[in-house]
Structure 1
Amino acid sequence: MKVIVAGAGYAGTLAANRLTKKAPGAEITVVNPRPDFVERVRLHQQIAGTGRAATPLAEMLRDGIRTRQATVEKIGDGCVVLDGGETLDFDYLVLAVGSTLSPLPGTVPVGTWEGAEQARAALAGLPADAAVTVVGAGPTGIETAAEVAHARPDLTVRLVGRDFAASISEKARRRVRTGLERLNVTVLDDVVTEVRDAGEGAGEVRLESGERLASDLVLWAVIGGVPDLAARSGLKVDERGRALVDEYLRSVGDPRIVVAGDCAAVPGSRMSCQTAEPQGAQAADTVAWMIRGGLPKPYSVEYVATCISLGRRDGVIQPSHRDDSPRRRFLAGRAAAMTKEGIVRSARFSARTGIGATGLPGSK
């Protein structure tokens, strides 16, 4: 049996490694546009120079898994077309191409490896007293602003966006704001309408309120879109372009295609490695069971917490109910930072071994 895994993020890497155990004898090929596994939850550290987010796939994938450094341009009937024009046949496909960004012109996107590297180089070249504006007040924006301010206290750092840390409780939000204030990050509850590009990531940021911010580096931290591969290939998708799936994460209309992670339209799920890894495990189990002529238990969404780091020595962890709604209590400070680091390491271990990460939904 030939199994292709499109994408080597948390979902794809875990699925490929898990399949070597669940479907012994299957010919597994991972197709990824870069030769590395990228820990997206560490990209803010990559930008600030406080950590590394990339590990060669050769160190992450189990022996026997083949790799192709390429981009899947289209999914056909039992085959994928790569960006160089080559086609690869499959009996089953795990579609795990993740999410993407649509940054405003003049900004540097921080949610991709290429954007993070561009931001890291630009940040390293900024003189003291330069101004950095981070667009987006969700966890990605908050962590990016905090990490930059922690690593470069000589800079002026601003965070601009509405719905500040909307996924956590009001008390936890106030604690996140306090943590940003301690790092001298200015939070503006506003919307960026335009960036007048001055080159190399610099520009004038124009806000809905009419305020204008001169910035030496503008970082885009709004993540919400997905690649159009599924739609372009004729798969059934929702209004956001995510592939529609059944209760086993199989593509509606083509059960040979199993979808996991940000590009899967699973009701009640959000974009995170806490979503990707359980779905990667489910995708592997679904493929393995179909090879044997059956089906596993249906996938169910279950969340544990929202974790936000505030530099290397502070953070907030908001425990959640299974439906991702916040619980009353939360953890903050150095203990939260240490716990978050442990969770991030556990997620990497889970992807590398395919056995599930302790404390994350779907662990086994």
Structure 2
Amino acid sequence: MNIVVIGAGYAGAVAANRLAKKVPDAAITVVNPRPDFIERVRLHQELAGSGSAATPLSEVLAPGIATYLGAVGKIGDGALVLDDGTELDFDYAVVAVGSTADPLPGTLTTGTWEGAQQTRAALDALPADSSVTVIGGGLTGMETASEIAEARPGLRVRLVSREIGASLSARGQRSALRVLRRLGVECVTDEIDRVEPGRVHLSSGATLATDLVLWSVISAVPDLVARSGLAVDATGRAVVDESLRSVSDPRVFVVGDCAAVPGMRMACATAGPQGAHAADTLVRILRGDAPQPFSMGYAGQGISLGRHDAVLQSTRRDDSPLPLHLTGRVAAVFKERIVRYAAYSARSGVSVALPGPRR
């Protein structure tokens, strides 16, 4: 039995390690473009120089799991074709290639490993009192702006978005904005028109002078599934059945950010449970049992605002915000524990989640 897992992020690592425990006689191969497991939720620390987001795969994947460093060019009929021409046969595949960014020209992206490395180098090269503009008012943008402002106080940091903290409750938004401003982040509510060297042009007609522009919007997915001929939706995400199997090929599971699962947001909180469910479903199939539908609900959203503050937003299971939120040092401690649990989940294959909302 050959099982290949494409991608060693949260979803892929959970799936591979869980399968290694539950199907010990299977040959499991993880294909990944780099030799490290990247904690996406620590990329803002990586780029700001306040922490590390990379751990060698040898410390994350269970003994016995084979790794192949490379990129997959196509998912074929029972075989992967890698960019170097290598073919890997499979009986089942788990696709967990995550998400990526589609940045405006003239910007550096912060939500990928390569982008974080480029951003860190660019920040290191900036003289004191330079201006950095972060585009994107979601969780990624807020974490990026606050981390840079705290870790590199000599820089002037600006955050630009049509709305900042849109996924939070009104009180949660106010708390996040208060912390951002305390850290010295200038918050501008406007849309980006275009970026030119040294300038950001806004939809309102205003122009902002800047030395570096960072793109902190994660909304795209790699095109591996689409170019392999498997069904995708309008955003390029794989169309899957209720058990997270491709509707085009039931041997192929698709999990995490690249899967089109209604009601799910891009997050490690989503990726881990989906990776675990794919592994459990495959075990059921091998036993001759019927697959079970995937179901999960959210409990909240966590945003790091530097190393000493955070916002923990309580949510309904459908991820809509509740009035309750927590901020301050206590929230920062809890957020760090959440991040550490996500890494533990990847290493152990253990992932739990609330049942999904009633429909």
Residue 129 of structure 1: how far off its partner (Å): 0.7
- Paired residues for 1:1-364 under 5 Å: 1-197=1-197, 203-356=198-351, 360-361=353-354
Moved more, 74-83 or 285-294: 285-294
Equivalent position SS for 1:328: strand
Residue identity matched to 1:229:
L
Per-residue Cα deviation, 1:100-158 (whole angstroms, up to 9, x for no partner): 11111111100110100111111122111100000111000000000000011121100
**Cα distance in 1, alignment partners of residues 250 and 34 from structure 2:** 28
Residue 274 of structure 1: how far off its partner (Å): 0.5
Structure 1: runs of 5+ lacking an equivalent: 198-202
**Cα distance in 2, alignment partners of residues 69 and 304 from structure 1:** 35
Residue 188 of structure 1: how far off its partner (Å): 0.7
Residue identity matched to 1:191:
E
**Cα distance in 2, alignment partners of residues 98 and 184 from structure 1:** 32
Residue 301 of structure 1: how far off its partner (Å): 2.7
Per-residue Cα deviation, 1:310-359 (whole angstroms, up to 9, x for no partner): 100011000111111111211100111110000000100010000126xx
TM-score (norm 2): 0.97
Per-residue Cα deviation, 1:18-39 (whole angstroms, up to 9, x for no partner): 0011212110000001110000
Check the 8 A contact 2:256/2:271 in 1, yes or no. Answer: yes
How many residue pairs get matched? Answer: 355
Residue 210 of structure 1: how far off its partner (Å): 1.4
Equivalent position SS for 2:55: strand
TM-score (norm 1): 0.96
Residue 292 of structure 1: how far off its partner (Å): 2.1
Residue 293 of structure 1: how far off its partner (Å): 2.1
Check the 8 A contact 1:274/1:361 in 2, yes or no. Answer: no
Equivalent position SS for 1:250: coil
Structure 2: runs of 5+ lacking an equivalent: none
Check the 8 A contact 2:163/2:190 in 1, yes or no. Answer: no
Equivalent position SS for 2:118: helix
**Cα distance in 2, alignment partners of residues 259 and 22 from structure 1:** 19
Post-superposition, which runs of at least 4 consecutive aligned residues in structure 1 deviate over 3 A?
none
Residue identity matched to 2:91:
D
Equivalent position SS for 2:25: coil
**Cα distance in 2, alignment partners of residues 115 and 145 from structure 1:** 15
Check the 8 A contact 1:278/1:361 in 2, yes or no. Answer: no
Equivalent position SS for 1:52: coil
**Cα distance in 2, alignment partners of residues 210 and 164 from structure 1:** 20
Check the 8 A contact 1:205/1:215 in 2, yes or no. Answer: yes
Residue identity matched to 1:290:
I
Check the 8 A contact 1:281/1:356 in 2, yes or no. Answer: yes
Residue identity matched to 2:248:
G
Check the 8 A contact 2:232/2:239 in 1, yes or no. Answer: yes
**Cα distance in 2, alignment partners of residues 240 and 361 from structure 1:** 27
Check the 8 A contact 1:302/1:323 in 2, yes or no. Answer: yes
